[in-house]
Amino acid sequence: MAGTATPSNEQVHTVSLKVLVGKKNNKVLFAEAKKDFVDVLLSFLTLPLGTIARLVAKESNIKPVKVGSLSTLYESLSHLEEVHFRTKTCKEMLLQPRNSMESYCRQMKLNIDDTEPTQYFICDKWECSRKKNGSRLSIFRNQRCHCGDLLKMVITPENNISKEEGFVKKNATFIVFDDLYITPNVFGASVKNLFKKNGIDDMEDVKEETVLISKKEVVDLLKLSLVSNTPMTDFILKKEQCLYKFTPTKEYEFVIGEVSSDEVRQIVVKVQQRKSDGTFLFVEADEKFVDFLYSFLTLPLGGVLHMLEGFSSVSCLDKLYGSMTELSSEKYLSSQQGLKDKLANPKCAPLFNLSKQILPIVAESLPAFYCHPHKFPVISSYAGEIYAPLDIVDPKSPSGESSSSEGFVEGPAMFMVTDDLDVTPMSSISVVSYLNRLKVPLSDLEERVIKIGVKEGLRILKASLTSTYALSDALKDLIKITQEEN
Ligand SMILES: [Zn+2]
């Protein structure tokens, strides 16, 4: 490549990838990838599940795909009226969840996350923003100052300029296998084994291909990573039939340690099932359970994989995650401190946490910010002697008070949740018509009260990634549900 030529538009927005294809079985053996492509794959781990559900529901080169029950959860959320949320911002937060590692992704050549980057807002009246106490700073739009005005002045904190550029070192090269397993580019045992496994003796049996990848292709790849065991082959050789025959791996069961007996963090729900044959019908639950389900959308994929100990049942996501944890930080990851730990266990974005979250995940915290008392508008995360501290507005709180981390959904309220996580406000009429549609007489209803703790919560989360029967899959041992399907 010529170093001095000005890159064309196509070069700026595409990444080229060299691929080795086995001729006999027409399969991608591996791709040789540089930083730009490996950054894209690793960025998948930072995307909140809600962002993933939103991105894969769009057309790209391949048709939209559904992710287990998450897609239904996301869609039913989009239809739920604003009155059911504690604030207007709550619904937006769930539909457009932020990425706690957005600063790493922003500079990437192919960043598919279309979520608006975090901005900082203060009141444009100087007297409001430089008070000794109680001046407000928001990282969401449409929040109010004490004076009643919107916090609408956009400001960049002085020492908050991020320099992160993706995840891996500039000159490192990698091999990416068909199942998205990433490994350093060494012609070693794994490549030789792969050749042997595919019956390849000499270079006559393979061909080299170069593919250009733009953002659209990255969305294709994200879709395939969720529904195929051979995403690179399906992606590069344009085999779409995988979308119809994907079967998640199910061999792994949770072994969860000492966490399940925390009474405080249990959510009580009512499961309605058929008395006659034990079929799962729906769950009746209050806002705490719905908050819990909606919080899935805010969880970064890598954080989910961490909680599931690397086994999500989506085999190539497990491979991608596992291979990342095996990469040498020092040799391959860009030099930021603790980057590998962050990628292995990304947190929710700031202010997206639930105070009563039953899952073992927390939100990234924001640094303290201060307003300069004489220069306006200057804010900084440096606490100079005379700087005035700013209160961070909680977008989930109707009064904007800071430091509460309550839920998204307004309570008290009751909801009906179907097996594929369709959430609707509870109404006797809708229950009756739902039962009519299923041809279930009222006399055949049986109600069971169960408690959802960490273990059940993780099971529901895991099932939501692959199953359209998330609740009955996750809870079947607990309530002896018989399943028609599996
Ligand atoms: Zn004000």
pLDDT band at 257 (very low <50, low <70, confident <90, very high): very low
Considering only residues 92 and 164, tell me which one the structure prediction assigns the higher pLDDT: 92
Q: How far is the CA of 456 from the centre of ligand 1 (A)?
A: 45
pLDDT digits (tens, 9 = 90+) for 45-75: 999 999 999 999 999 998 999 999 999 999 9
Q: Is the pLDDT of residue 222 over 60?
A: yes
Q: Is the dihedral of CA 479, 482, 483, 486 positive or negative?
A: positive
Kindly give the distance from the C-alpha atom of residue 387 to the centroid of ligand 1, in angstroms, as a whole number: 18
For residue 399, how far is its CA from the centre of ligand 1 (angstroms)? Answer: 14
* pLDDT, position 19: 95
- Report the alpha-carbon distance of residue 51 to residue 280 in Å, rounded: 29
Which carries the bigger pLDDT value, residue 262 or residue 38? 38
* C-alpha of residue 136 to centroid of ligand 1, in Å: 8
Residue 402 has pLDDT above 80, yes or no: no
Give the pLDDT confidence of 284-293 residue by residue, as tens digits.
Answer: 999 999 999 9
**Residue 467 has what pLDDT?**
92
In angstroms, what is the span from residue 128 Cα to ligand 1's centroid? 5
| Centre of ligand 1 from the C-alpha of residue 151, in Å | 7
pLDDT one-digit tens code per residue, 232-253 = 999 988 766 555 556 666 544 5
Beta bridge partners of 137: 122, 392
Q: Which tens digit of pLDDT belongs to each residue from 258-289?
A: 454 455 579 999 999 999 888 999 999 999 99
What mean pLDDT do residues 168-178 have?
94
Q: What is the mean pLDDT of residues 80-108?
A: 95
Say if residues 212 and 6 touch (Cβ distance below 8 Å).
no
pLDDT at 379: 75
Region 325-335 average pLDDT = 89
Using the predicted structure, report yes or no on whether residue 120 has a pLDDT greater than 50: yes
Please report the DSSP string for 77-137 in residue order: HHHS-GGGBSSHHHHHHHHSPPPTTHHHHTT-TT----SPPP-EEE-S-HHHHT-SS-EEE
**Res 37 pLDDT > 90:** yes
Residue 144 alpha carbon to ligand 1 centre in Å: 8
- Residue 212 clears pLDDT 90, i.e. is over it: yes
pLDDT tier at 383 (50, 70, 90 boundaries)?
A: low
115 Cα: distance to centroid of ligand 1 (angstroms): 27
For the chain, percent helix, then strand, then coil, each to nearest 5?
A: 35, 20, 45
- Which residues fall within 8 angstroms of residue 11, CB to CB, at 6 or more apart? none
Say which residue, 374 or 275, is predicted with more confidence: 275
* Ranges 88-102, 380-394, 436-450: which has the least confidence: 380-394
How confident is the model at residue 1, as a pLDDT? 41
pLDDT of 484 > 70? The answer is: no
Q: How far, in Å, from the CA of 365 to the mean position of ligand 1?
A: 25
CA of 392 to the centre of ligand 1 (A): 14
> Residue 133 has which token pair?
């106490």
Q: What was the pLDDT predicted at 84?
A: 97
For ligand 1, the distance from its centroid to the CA atom of residue 413, given in whole angstroms, is 34
**Mean pLDDT, the chain, whole residue set:** 87
Residue 57, pLDDT score? 96
What is the pLDDT, as a whole number, of residue 333? Answer: 92
Distance 486 CA to ligand 1 centre (A): 58
At residue 244, the pLDDT reads 52
| 412 pLDDT above the threshold of 90 | yes
DSSP 3-state of 66: coil
Give the pLDDT score at 313. 87
* Cα 129 to ligand 1 centre (Å): 7
* pLDDT score of 439: 94
CA of 364 from ligand 1 middle (Å) equals 27
pLDDT digits (tens, 9 = 90+) for 130-161: 787 888 999 999 999 999 999 999 988 876 66
What percent of the chain lies above the pLDDT cut of 90? 65
